Amino acid sequence: MPDLNTFAKTIIEYSCSVQAGENVLILAEGLEAKPLVLELVREIYRAGANPFFEMLDTDVQKAFISGCNERQMETFSEISLHKLQQMQALIVISALESPEKYADIPLEQMSLFNRYYMQRCFYAYGVTNTKWIYLKYPTQGMAKLFGQSQETFEQYYFAVCTLDYAKISSAMDQLTALFQKTDRVRILADGTDLSFSIRGIPAQKSDGRNGLPDGEVFTAPVRNSANGVISFNCPLYFRGQLLEEIRLVFENGKVVEASANDSARLNQILDLDENARYLGEFALSVNNRITKPMKDILFDEKIGGSLHLALGNAYITTDNGNHSSIHMDIVQIQRPEFGGGEVWFDDVLIRKDGKFVLDALRALDELL
């Protein structure tokens, strides 16, 4: 295992910038994350701050979500929100044994959990009121999913999570500024010709402060602006189910046709609420240490030379008014080995086959 103390120090000092006297909550989903939680607790004390923690057994959490009712989940969210309101920083660690862990929980039950807990506590409060970060822990299940030994995967994990984020942050400023002044976006690729507006929606860079690994600039499309078709070439697990070959057709912002390897499942997800068929995020990703999919969205959505759209909920910091019980990121990789593609901002080509063509943005392709 690489130096967990150095990793914990990066999270506490850089990502969360923990100060003396602050309260910091570590929320770990999965018991394999214990070594990192230990190091984080020690590092928080070294910073003169106060650590708090929750270690969630995923079997217990699965049983809890599967049987909960709405009133119970509302009470659970009130308790969780009260605790979160005492914190200045929040560290969320996912250490699922398998991406299929929650696959057999009914979608309606997961929606209760997401609406009352994720939306109310994490998105509506934590994202705007704490110094927060979300990360995965390199579990045995993740290594198996990626087709590597535990030791090899851990080396890869820490390599992609430990970029010089201060350097990449500076390089992303130019791209963030371009997002801010752009109206029309057009995406072209095999099976793809999609246009939408991002005018008036804030843009934000992800530079290692809210997620590890990181490396993207994101905003949200104007809610009713998307028209056309897009085909995605990156598989994903969503709530435990593998979805591949996703193809979406948009009319005035809404998905009017959706297909995949399991079209019925995809459409069931998109019918969970009235806003699930609208977009809540658009992003260009620049982490060039991540080069191929591993079926884990936290990694795949950062693949260098890729873009992603999210169906459903918009982040409060880049709010387009679309609020939903889902936030489903779907990735299109545009590097040549994945079929190539183009991204246009206001009729100007800014990226082709995963490489930026504007001089002001070329530095982003060189960061490793």
> For residues 21 and 229, what is the distance between their CA atoms, to the nearest angstrom?
51
The pLDDT of residue 165 is 85
Distances (CA, A) of 310 to 73, 102, 295, 318, 343: 25, 21, 16, 12, 17
Structure pTM? 0.88
Q: Say if residue 213 is preceded by a cis peptide, omega within 30 of 0.
A: yes
pLDDT at position 80, please?
Answer: 96
* pLDDT score of 151: 87
pLDDT of res. 1:
53
45-81 confidence digits (pLDDT tens): 999 999 999 999 999 999 999 999 999 999 999 999 9
SS3 122: helix
How many angstroms separate the CA atoms of 133 and 38, rounded? 17
Task: List the domain boundaries for the chain.
Answer: 4-161, 165-366
The residue written with tokens 């909550």 in the block is 25
Q: Which class in CATH covers the domain with range 4-161?
A: alpha beta
- Decide: helix, strand or coil at residue 141: helix
Per-residue pLDDT, 257:
98
Predicted confidence at residue 294, as pLDDT, reads 87
Radius of gyration of the chain (CA): 20
Confidence (pLDDT) at 205: 96
Q: Whole-angstrom Cα distance, residue 237 to residue 301?
A: 12
Predicted local distance difference test score (pLDDT) of residue 161: 84
- Whether omega before 2 lies within 30 degrees of 0, making that bond cis, reads no
For 49, 120, 264, 285, 341, the CA distances from 24, given in Å and listed in that order, are 7, 19, 42, 29, 43
What's the pLDDT score for residue 3?
75
- pLDDT under 50 in the chain at which residues? none
Helix (H, G, I), strand (E, B) or coil at 283: strand
